[in-house]
Amino acid sequence: MTRKTGIWCLLAVVIVLLGMDVVTSPPDPYAAPDPLVWGSSEGGSGALCSLPGQ
């Protein structure tokens, strides 16, 4: 087996997990934010690694 097998397996897992997520919590295209936060009145989501979460 080569690394291509590993790539196929990983992509398959990612696609299955994404599919399950889309079924359980589908995104709403009608609630889509502006393409860029820059120039928009909206801010970043704040869901980032440095968030202490308290």
Which residues make up the interface to other proteins (CB under 8 A)? 1-7, 9-11, 14, 17-18, 20-22, 24-29, 31-38, 40-54
Which amino acid is located at 53 in the chain? G
State the nearest-atom distance from the C-beta of 38 to other proteins, in Å: 4
| Region of residue 24 (left: phi > 0; alpha: psi -120 to 50; beta: else) | alpha
State the nearest-atom distance from the C-beta of 13 to other proteins, in Å: 9
State the nearest-atom distance from the C-beta of 12 to other proteins, in Å: 12
Distance (Å, rounded) from C-alpha 12 to C-alpha 18? 10
